[in-house]
Structure 1
Amino acid sequence: MEKLSSDVISNKDDQQLTEVKLALLAASFFFELKWAPKYDSSGFYICQGEIRVRGDHTKIFMALRRMSAATMEFHKGSVPLGKFEHLKDICPGCYRFRKKVCFFVRHPAEVIALTMTM
Structure 2
Amino acid sequence: MSNSDKDDRRKYSRVTFTTRIEIRMLDVSGQHVQFMADSKDLSQRGLFVKTEKRPSLDTACRVTVYLSRGTDDLKLEIQGRIVRHTDAGFGVAFESMDLDTYSHLKMLVLYNIEAKD
TM value normalised by structure 2? 0.30
Which of these two proteins has the greater Rg computed from alpha carbons? Answer: 1
TM value normalised by structure 1? 0.30
The structure carrying a bigger helix percent of its residues is 1
- Relative CO higher for 1 or 2, CA cutoff 8 Å, sep ≥ 6? 1
The structure carrying a bigger strand percent of its residues is 2
